[in-house]
Amino acid sequence: MAQELGISKAALAASLFKADPTSLPRTTVDDLFTLLGSAVTKCSRPNVQNCKAWIVTNIVPSKNRSVALGRYLVALSRSLDSNQKPSVRRRRLHLLYVINDVLHHVKTNLGDASFGDALEAHLPVLVATVAEFKDCPKHMKKFALLLDIWENKAYVSPAHLATLRKAAAGDPSTTVPAEAQSVTSSLRISKEAPYTLPSYHGDPSTPWYDLPAATWLPHITPNSTRPMLPDLIKPIQLAPGPADPKLVAAVQDLLRDVELLFSKERKADEEPYDQINELGEQVYLDEITAASTSAPSAPAVESNGAPIGQPSSTTSSPRLEWTVAAASPFAERDASRLDAWNDDSSEYDGTKRMERWAASSAATASAK
């Protein structure tokens, strides 16, 4: 959920930075998340009105921004922490209260229903998250009253309202459109889309500090403390058209790595997953048998040239030297065990060694 929230927040911020219709500075964009957080935490009249005024001024005129806001609200509603106060059900209901004020303003003062149409794919999911708490009668009564207001005031179309009521009743089919907008599907669409270069890398109307990092590269001098001149940082002009095959291959490799990290689904023609074991070796997981294999490595050897764990043909294994205190009451027993161990130290069969040890222990016990 945190990953989905971060991606949707970045997408919303990117839409606000674009000139659609006008680009917003970063401080103004940050105000949206602050106002929205205040309205969700404390649903007072000033907090809701301030948040509504910001949305009406900067988001409602753009359909793309309205869609990005709906996607962000869905991710925010799903990622609310149950350990914080107020409760999750109240904060989810507060999100609908903010949307209700925006719908009222757009419908009454502007006479425009485009904002409700832009949220059509996301409102059912928001409604479904609010309707999860069916064991709370007061909460459900407030929620039902809100839907009745939307019906009486015609904030949304009758067909859309019927979909919202199905979502409130728990119909899973109403949440499919928003569910489909996942990271995996986005990556798959990006990989299958044709790769073309735009005219510019970066928006000319965007401030220099919000431009892509690649626009800074021509102004960075290696091993130099000379600062960059912000007035010279501009979008990079490109030759529009099909991308170079090497560039396409690099982008596809990057998307493949991202999908291996975050996606649970893979195509059959893709390479198998690879992991790193405790020894730093690259391990490949067989897709059919689920067995892991690694590249063979050279066996470790001792100073005499023999592999570790195997006897050398030229040298004999040293006897184990243990010192047993003569005053110990178990000195005789321990000495007999050591003799059995040392006599068998030239053999590297663990089973025989344990048998000799057990026989020695049994003989000592029977003697007592």
The CATH number given to whatever domain includes residue 62 is 1.25.40.90
Tens digit of each residue's pLDDT (9 = 90 or more) over 178-200:
444 444 454 454 555 678 888 88
Q: Which of 132, 155, 188 is the last residue of a domain?
A: 188
Query: Is 226 among the domain residues?
Result: no
77 domain residue, yes or no: yes
Q: Is residue 205 part of a domain?
A: no
The pTM of the full predicted model, rounded to 2 decimals, is 0.53
Last residue of a domain, one of 153, 188, 223: 188
Please give the pLDDT value at position 97: 93
Domain boundary (139, 160, 188) is at: 188
Whether 202 and 212 have beta carbons less than 8 Å apart is answered as: yes
Encoding tokens for residue 120? 């059509």
Could you give the dihedral angle defined by the CA atoms of residues 274, 277, 279 and 284, in that order, rounded to the nearest 10 degrees?
Answer: -30
Eight-state DSSP code of residue 272: P
Quick: pLDDT tens for 53-92.
Answer: 999 999 999 988 999 999 999 999 888 888 888 898 899 9
Half-sphere exposure of 269 (CA within 13 A, CB side): 0
If you average pLDDT over residues 323-347, what whole number do you get?
48
In a domain, 208, yes or no: no
Residue 30 within any structural domain of the chain: yes
Question: Which structural domain range is residue 75 located in?
Answer: 2-188
**Domain count within the chain:** 2
Residue 336 lies in a domain: yes
* Cα–Cα distance for residue pair 79/116, rounded to 1 Å: 23
Instruction: Check residue 326 and give its pLDDT.
Output: 42
Q: For residue 226, give every residue at least 6 positions away whose Cβ sits within 8 Å of its Cβ, in sequence order, or none.
A: none
The answer to the question of residue 281 being in a domain is no
Strand segments, DSSP code E, in 236-349 are 236-237, 241-242, 274-276, 282-285, 292-294
Domain-embedded: residue 27: yes
